[in-house]
Structure 1
Amino acid sequence: MSFELNSAFERREEWKAARLSEVEYQEIARALKALASEHGASAEPAIDALAHKGLDAALGVIAATTGAAAEAEFHQFRARDRLR
């Protein structure tokens, strides 16, 4: 009986971890889109870089496209998004 409870608990924790990871990815993508639109740039190259190479590459794409201080602005957008 205790083995079954432990197994169920582990599956639930794995599901929660996966869900939190998905939510965080969505928040990151939302902040990247807001950052790109603030500077009048397309968000698609940044989202593509996020999916294939990670956040640093996505911020690099935005910085190269807009000439903005992308990392600082990205963190401001993330903080604003979390306050809502």
Structure 2
Amino acid sequence: MDIDPDEIVTVELDTYDWERSYSRLLTRRQLGELLLHFDDMADQTEATYEEGAQHNQRAELVAAGRCPNCRWPDYQCNCAEHPDA
């Protein structure tokens, strides 16, 4: 079965806090591009979340007097990547 990329489809977006749904006519090609864009946005959101979590973990280690790289207490750390090296 062949899919015509120029076939018109209706896309309807809805969420619990909208008064009514939002619908648009798109071609299948446009829908595919839109879904790829959503996928890229999800990847970026995940990457941003992970970066924030890593930053928070590093800050907690430094506040606790530990090297954020090797996690040893600052006074025992000899790693080359120590922030004070």
TM-score, normalising length: structure 2: 0.51
Aligned counterpart, 1:3: 28
1:31-75 C-alpha deviation (Å, 9 max, x unpaired): 0010000011011246xxxxxxxxxxxxxxxxxx68xxxxxxxxx
1:3-38 C-alpha deviation (Å, 9 max, x unpaired): 101100110000000000000000001100100000
Q: Tell me how far apart the structure 1 counterparts of residues 28 and 69 of structure 2 sit (CA, whole Å).
A: 47
Secondary structure of the residue aligned to 1:40 is coil
Secondary structure of the residue aligned to 1:44 is coil
Identity %: 6
Moved over 4 A (4+): none
Q: Larger Cα Rg: Structure 1 or Structure 2?
A: 2
* Stretches of structure 1 lacking an aligned partner (at least 5 in a row): 47-64, 67-84
Q: Tell me how far apart the structure 2 counterparts of residues 7 and 31 of structure 1 sit (CA, whole Å).
A: 36
Aligned counterpart, 1:41: 66
Aligned counterpart, 1:69: none
* Stretches of structure 2 lacking an aligned partner (at least 5 in a row): 1-5, 7-26, 74-85
Which one has more relative contact order, counting CA pairs under 8 Å at least 6 apart? Answer: 1
**CA RMSD for the aligned pairs?**
1.7
Between Structure 1 and Structure 2, which shows a larger proportion of helix residues? 1
